[in-house]
Structure 1
Amino acid sequence: MTERLHLSELIARIPSGTKLAVPVDYAGVSMSGTAEIIRQNIGGLHLICVPTGGMQVDMLVGAGLVACVETSAVSLGEAGGAPCFNRAVKQGSIKLMDATCPAIHAGLIAAQKGVPFLPIRGLIGSDVFENRKDWKLIDNPFGENDPLVLIPAIQPDYALFHAPLADKYGNVWIGRRRELATMAYAAKHTLITVEKITDDNLLDDEVMAAGVLPSLYVDAVAHVSNGAAPYGVWGEYPADAQEIAAYAKAAQTEEGVADYLATASWMQEQRT
């Protein structure tokens, strides 16, 4: 049964050293959860970006809470590169598991289906493939001269994201953001912050039901208004480009990011 928790209780479920799956910046990033991870000092994280990371990942790296990042890219979009992530990679202070978007999705789908790997194409001869010794090259057993790359299953310990709506039964509406469903299906546990909670059963609505993640895949939900800000959430509010740019400027130095994490007004809110 899906539990309904306070934000601090929800994030306290995540242990240090966990493999944590987080979504791309337009698909429901729990920035309220990110602030709470920093507040609770949950470290040694292995972040799995689905399939890329942004301000969330950069902040956690800047806070010194990340041991490994598995991703196809980390960027602040129009605000530029990811300063803390780039700095950490250059310094060698985090492990980078470089990937591609299809490889990340293939690994998660393999975990979802309970198989050890999935084969994909398009990586052979690339620097990415050469640097991933855990990926294997095989010949297609059903063809000739047809090499394939095997991507091992990626099973996060936890998936964390934000959504517009949940119901009191624990069903969560994710709309067209199907990568969120892939995260939840693959992960051992799924924690979600939401804008609103309704008394209506979302699965009873023929229009909404197709975009609902069933409660079977949801461990706990926390009601957090504006829980994705300064990123946006579809149908609710847009991203705050000025705040993201302010972070990008501050994060150019270790001192600047430390000051930002300590003083940014949106991070200091005690959200419920």
Structure 2
Amino acid sequence: MPDKLMTIDEAVAQVESGMTIGIGGWGSRRKPMALVRALLRTDARDLTVVAFGGPDVGLLAAAGRIRRLVYGFVSLDSIPLDPLFTQARERGELEIEEYDEGMFVAGLRAAAQRLDFLPTRAGLGSDVLPANPRLKTVASPYSDDEYVAMPALPLDLALVHMNRADAAGNAQFLGPDPYFDDLFAMAAQRTIVSTEKVVSTGSLLDEASFHTLLFSRMYVHGVVETPRGAHFTTCEPDYGRDEAFQRHYATAAKDADAWAGFSGTFLGGDEAAYHEAVARFHITEGES
């Protein structure tokens, strides 16, 4: 099998300005945060970001990298809204396409199947349709029913974080929920997988059954080993959400001077420097 291992800088070098990027995970859960932090160190901008958003969207929006955001929600879970996203939206800095979660998933499924759209009942009778003039309805050829024709959400590149992967790109989740990372991978022309640990193919079933092998190497173009690469979001069972640090992030985001200090401390260096700064933060705060 091919070896698709690469460094984090090699991975994000594949992101070009103007691309449509899908980011896996869900809110503040198993987000590919190491890849997002590395993306902030590149010159890529004018991105279309497709996500069930969390701090990934907040950080990229604050850095002015997102032109258009396609999303179901942007939340930090234990904190309802990401303040950086909220500020960017209130300032009118983002082109917005907001969908019901069921519609969003239908759009990924359509792209994964290389279809223009999929019919769905999700969104019928809601304010999503009048708020998005792009959406159309379609009549069933078999009954009198009418459905939302959810357009496909094709991606140039997907970024996802998994608990384990082998060097070929077979990807495994060990937590309670796969989210929709498999659909992101299948909807994309290329997929980069960051993972807590690269293991041999023969070891992929050491910790869980074959049901946890979320998607195969055929969808993957690069594998990056990034221990604690989802921090500060969850990556169960490897670690939970760093609630103290997330509160620090959200508090700093509400004040321009505090955010400048946060960015300089935690986002000014590489991934190793980030984790060293987080460790110092916990020593200072007296929390682990």
2:63 corresponds to which residue? 63
- Aligned letter for 2:14? R
1:139 equivalenced with 2:124 (yes/no): no
Cα displacement (A) at 1:13:
1.1
- Aligned letter for 1:264? F
SS of the residue 1:235 aligns to: coil
- Aligned letter for 1:256? A
Relative CO higher for 1 or 2, CA cutoff 8 Å, sep ≥ 6? 1
Q: Map 1:150-189 onto structure 2 (within 5 A).
A: 150-175=149-174, 176-177=177-178, 179-189=180-190
Change (3 A) 1:103 1:47: same
Cα displacement (A) at 1:66:
0.9
SS of the residue 1:68 aligns to: strand
SS of the residue 2:69 aligns to: strand
Cα displacement (A) at 1:141:
2.1
Cα displacement (A) at 1:241:
0.5
SS of the residue 1:188 aligns to: strand
SS of the residue 2:22 aligns to: strand
Give the alignment's TM-score, normalised by structure 2: 0.86
Contact 1:58 1:82 in 2 (8 A): yes
Q: Where has structure 1 moved over 4 Å in runs of 4 or more?
A: 202-207, 265-268
**Deviations 1:54-94 (CA, angstroms, capped at 9, x unpaired):** 11111111111111111121122223422221122122111
1:92 equivalenced with 2:84 (yes/no): no
**Deviations 1:197-235 (CA, angstroms, capped at 9, x unpaired):** 112336777953322221111100011111111112122
Give the count of matched residue pairs.
Answer: 269
Cα displacement (A) at 1:178:
5.2
Cα displacement (A) at 1:189:
0.6
Cα displacement (A) at 1:255:
3.9
Q: Give me the identity figure in percent.
A: 26
1:208 corresponds to which residue? 209
Once residues 88 and 207 of structure 2 are traced to their aligned partners in structure 1, the CA distance between those partners, rounded to angstroms, is: 47
Unaligned segments of structure 2, at least 5 residues? 276-288
- Aligned letter for 1:57? V
Q: Map 1:105-254 onto structure 2 (within 5 A).
A: 105-144=105-144, 146-175=145-174, 176-177=177-178, 179-201=180-202, 208-212=209-213, 213-254=215-256
Once residues 157 and 142 of structure 2 are traced to their aligned partners in structure 1, the CA distance between those partners, rounded to angstroms, is: 36
